[in-house]
Structure 1
């Protein structure tokens, strides 16, 4: 299914597949959206599938809203790929390896 974007005021419903093939449509529709609106609501309930490029497009829109101090709300369950990308996980802490000087041990 192709991508359909319908809007009413500041609510946008995204329907179909959000992928590399129709990313131009998505980007054109939301280009400079935060210049026009302070609050944007995206309804992704009817997104059937999304690929990596589609997820990144939503992430870029999210980052733009933060940079411009605007409000972006994403509602709806959408598809599992999107949920997996945005779900919260415990941060992984990296263990720092320290190199200790080697040599003879001298006790006083």
Structure 2
């Protein structure tokens, strides 16, 4: 399954896998949207798989948004690996 991104009421919904094969699409899509918006909310309820590249992409978007005084927010109950990674980073 590939990665699908849809927007509903200002929230971007991810559906599928965020891995090396879908990362370029993900990065291009959110680089553009983050350059146009002050705040991005990404719902990961339907993310069924994420690899280390996908987790790193989320980390980079969060960092870049902060440095540019913007918001990149991840919501939903999708892949636990995302939250585990962010929690480990915040503890260290």
TM, length-normalised to structure 1: 0.76
Structure 1 residue 46, shift from structure 2 partner: 0.7
Instruction: Determine which structure has the larger strand proportion and give its number.
Output: 2
Structure 1 residue 90, shift from structure 2 partner: 4.1
Q: Which of structure 1's runs of 4+ aligned residues deviate more than 2 A?
A: 32-35, 88-91
- Which is bigger in relative contact order (C-alpha 8 A, separation at least 6)? 2
Single out whichever of 46-55 and 66-75 deviates more from structure 2. Answer: 66-75
Single out whichever of 30-39 and 59-68 deviates more from structure 2. Answer: 30-39
Gaps of 5+ in 2: none
Partner of 1:98: none
TM alignment of 1:18-57, pairs within 5 A:
18-57=18-57
Gaps of 5+ in 1: 92-108
Question: For this pair of structures, how many residues does the alignment match?
Answer: 91
TM, length-normalised to structure 2: 0.88
| Deviation digits for residues 27-46 of structure 1 (CA, Å, limit 9, x no counterpart) | 11112323211111100111
Q: Distance in 1 between matches of 2:66 and 2:32?
A: 14
Q: Is the contact made by 1:42 and 1:74 (CA closer than 8 Å) also made in structure 2?
A: yes
